[in-house]
Structure 1
Amino acid sequence: MKKVFAFIFGLMALSVPASAEMLSYLIEERVTEEFGFELPVGGEFDIRLVNVSDAEAVVVPDFWYDKNTGQFIANVVMEDGLKTRVTGLATLTVPVPVPVRKLMPDEIVTEADLQVVPLPHNRVGGFVLTTMNDIVGMEVKRVLTRGRPVMKQSVTPPIIVDRGDRVEIVYTKGRMNLSAPGKAIGSAAKGEEVRIVNVVSNKTVVAIATEEGKVEIMN
């Protein structure tokens, strides 16, 4: 089958005539069936057709598809009753946020720094961040290139409590709300644990960094 695909695509150039809209829809239905539950959230298909008749397609009774290459062969029944063979590409794409500019280490990523674009699914590996919420507000660790997917290891939650910072220690239990001055002896991003010295009692406690200059002792 792969040799057949290679032969066909070696002889023909891809084109998408206006009359191919219905056929593209039918091909997309068949490709979607091929993926079934494996189709990723937001996944769509970019359909490119070859040797399309001017007649409108009615049904696709036979269909062969290679998920690795996106190439397909389809037997198609046209509105005039004739059967024809159509080949082409059905590339699975998924929406992925990518930088609109080069971002340098220590920068904090904002929503304005990103745009969502469709990318071929086979280019989106397991380490690619696929939602805006995964990236916005993160601190850049490694240079982010314009238009390229953001890898998990390239960003990190920003540090909001740094070693040596003066912080407010908050303790809440029921209606009781206490606070005391403290000094961080470690660093932490939001939601992370950090060791703090209570400068009044001179005792060390473990607290959660909640915002810049504030930590909370959990019950």
Structure 2
Amino acid sequence: MNFVAIRTLILCTFVAGLTLAATSVGTQASSPKTQSEPARLLGNVEVTNRLVTLGDLFHNAGDLSNKAVFRAPSLGQSGTIRAYRVLDAARRAGLTRIAPTDVAIVKVERASEVVTEHDVVEQLKGILRSRSLVSGDGRVDVELTTRLVDQHAVPGTMQPFDIRNLRFDRTTGRFSFNLLVAGRSDIGAVRITGSALETVLTPVLTRNMRPGEIVTESDVIMTPLPLNKAQQANPALMDEVIGKSATRTLRAGIIVNAAYFSEPEIINRSDVVSIIFKAGKLTLSMRGKALASGSKGDVISVQNTQTNKILRGEVTGPGIVQIGPISNQIASLGVPIQ
């Protein structure tokens, strides 16, 4: 059965959908026991059973409270009936002492428990986890290919719906099962299909990037992706890429991998730099020229512009290169050794 076509018809009028139960109980019932007070017609009625009784329709129906006089609307639906028809049915069923009323139309609503797509999906996830078809603590994204509209089940049942004959393909994530709604023999078993994929929040690039551009927090968004796809891409942690520089052209939507980024270059070739030497309390500084570009932590060659000597030092900040305590490098700074 195609679930899209399954629609519970809303009753616009109670008259067309209800049948007098008098056809099954006879045209005239025996007289009830004496009522202490006359019965009073109710204007709004909620019922839980398939039949509407005098006790549903009247306050103080006495011994005739359980007498069925109409069929109820479908589960979750409502209908109306003119008061004179209700009064006529009540008298034919034996309820003779009825108080005068201003009620012209009686509205009857059939109580139900609504079964939503969310309810079904959550139960499906629970079944998949309990059968170890997906990990117990992993995130599972379910997409139904069968449209599932809200359905009305019999209220008060322990299990308003049931998932049966579940089939699941671990490789593709495709599934199918039969959905049974409590008290809904009119729709029978509904075939539901879809896919359930275990996902993990994965860093994804939000924009195209050129080599050398610096990654900011707005450039990366955590997106749920299939677990297998994410694992194959070896995604980076957020703090491994924020503030880093792209080493290649990158397109929006790719999974962020640490190999695509490096520390940004804070010294460019031919930049004027400060060459710093530290040894204990001694700190020496001299202007120099970078002979190569470098990021923080890189070791590059610099030229002392006073002596033209070439030194090797570590980039410690923008425009700053620090050299180690080697005597010939100290001499190259142009400062006499004490």
Which residue type is aligned with residue 207 of structure 2?
Answer: R
1:138 to 222, 233, 244: 244
Tell me if structure 2 keeps the 8 A contact 1:49–1:89. Answer: yes
Distance 1:31 1:163 in 2: 61
SS of 1:179's partner is strand
Paired residue for 1:159?
265
Change (3 A) 1:26 1:129: closer
1:29 to 114, 118, 129: 129
Give the number of aligned pairs: 198
2:171 to 65, 68, 85: 68
Deviation at 1:97, TM superposition (A): 2.2
Structure 1 unaligned residues grouped into runs of 5+: 1-10, 80-84
Change (3 A) 1:105 1:174: same
Change (3 A) 1:102 1:50: closer
Question: Which of the pair has more CA radius of gyration?
Answer: 2
2:276 to 128, 152, 170: 170
Cα deviation digits, residues 77-133 of structure 1 (max 9, x gap): xx9xxxxx9976331222222233332333222112222211112222555543222
SS of 1:105's partner is coil
Distance 2:171 2:133 in 1: 16
Which residue type is aligned with residue 47 of structure 1?
Answer: V
Question: Quick one: percent identity of the two aligned structures?
Answer: 30
Paired residue for 1:197?
303
Distance 2:249 2:238 in 1: 18
Change (3 A) 1:182 1:47: same
Tell me if structure 1 keeps the 8 A contact 2:129–2:135. Answer: no
Change (3 A) 1:67 1:22: closer
Distance 1:181 1:124 in 2: 48
Higher relative contact order (CA 8 A, sep 6+): 1
Change (3 A) 1:31 1:72: farther
Deviation at 1:50, TM superposition (A): 8.6
Structure 2 unaligned residues grouped into runs of 5+: 5-115, 154-158, 183-190, 326-338
Deviation at 1:153, TM superposition (A): 4.8
Provide the aligned C-alpha RMSD in A.
4.2
Q: Could you state the TM-score of these two structures normalised by the residue count of structure 1?
A: 0.65
SS of 2:211's partner is coil
